[in-house]
Amino acid sequence: MKTFTIEHNLEMNKSSIKKSYLEYCMMNCLGKQKSYLFRERAYKLKKNEQEKFNGMVRALKSSIPVAYVLGNQPFFNYTFEVNSNVLIPRPETEIMISHILDCGDKIYKRTGNMTILDLGAGSGCIGLTIAAERKNWNVILTEKFYSCADIIKQNMFALKVNNCHFIIMDWLRGLRENLADIIVSNPPYIEYESILVDDNVKNFEPNTALFADEKGLSDIKKIIESSQETLKENGYLFLENGYDQSDDVVNLLREHDYRDIQVFMDYNKIHRFTCSRKI
């Protein structure tokens, strides 16, 4: 196999692949930081390094998301392992983390306790980030698909969090009443007929984490209904929703007697998140 320098590898592929993606892959292959790529551009890859890089380039050219090619995705202050069984963590979801931490801090200061549920945890990025940021909180991650279990456990081990538990279950089914101070979920919320989903998302990310019935609202409805029993009095429910679903979600929350409903925007000024309180 012919091998090339860092510079040549990056140059000969830049017309078909984003420069940043190529750099991430090169860093992964060499086990080096980005500064090394610029400092040692004349470094000629070893055979195994070139073989790995070529494989990554082929994967990127076939439209496989870069997070799956690398096997990880940055989120908040951490890096999470991912594979095609779990949704790739999105930067906008980090917005919800900040609001949850602020809300939870107030509850913890008042009560000295905090239990938070992350429903449909996927990679675990939401619940495990919260567990890592707040060591005194009790965090429970639930996921109904066994295919996600290994990734969640790997990320739990990597972050060295000892204040969380993982349960295989369907949303809140089987959990006792008045358990949680906060429930959070980024559930499937895209309607099956949507034409707005990028092909690399639709073709490679798990459909079970993307699509839902009833115009994308079926799982959100289940969570809103069942959270009334699992939340403590004055507990909070945080939800992520689709770009055009905010009004529907707010109406559902009102119908089920949630109050103090707040809507937060994502980086594109879309009404993406809701926070509400059980009365």
CATH superfamily placement of domain 76-81+84-278: Vaccinia Virus protein VP39 (3.40.50.150)
Strand partners, 168: 143
Q: What pLDDT band is residue 174 in, cutting at 50, 70 and 90? A: confident
The 10s digit of each residue's pLDDT in 197-250 is 999 899 999 999 999 999 999 999 999 999 999 999 999 999 999 999 999 999
| pLDDT on residue 176 | 87
The 10s digit of each residue's pLDDT in 140-153 is 999 999 999 999 99
| pLDDT on residue 121 | 97
Q: In the predicted model, what is the mean pLDDT of residues 111-122?
A: 97
The whole-angstrom separation of Cα 224 and Cα 221 is 5
Contact 38, 30 (CB under 8 A): no
The whole-angstrom separation of Cα 35 and Cα 32 is 8
Listed in sequence order, the residues at least 6 apart from 144 whose beta carbon sits closer than 8 Å to its beta carbon are 120, 168, 169, 170, 171
Q: What pLDDT band is residue 162 in, cutting at 50, 70 and 90? A: very high
Whether the pLDDT of residue 164 is over 90: the answer is yes
| pLDDT on residue 23 | 97
Contact 242, 216 (CB under 8 A): yes
Question: Which of 90, 207, 33 lies closest to 82 in space, CA to CA?
Answer: 90
Instruction: For the chain, give the number of residues.
Output: 279
The 10s digit of each residue's pLDDT in 27-40 is 999 999 999 999 99
Q: What does pTM read for this prediction? A: 0.94
Q: What pLDDT band is residue 1 in, cutting at 50, 70 and 90? A: confident
Per domain, the residue ranges of the chain are 6-62, 76-81+84-278
> What is the full DSSP assignment across 27-89?
HHHHT--HHHHHHTTTPBPPHHHHHHHHHHHHHHHTT--HHHHHTEEEETTEEEE--TTSPPP
First to last CA, the chain: 67
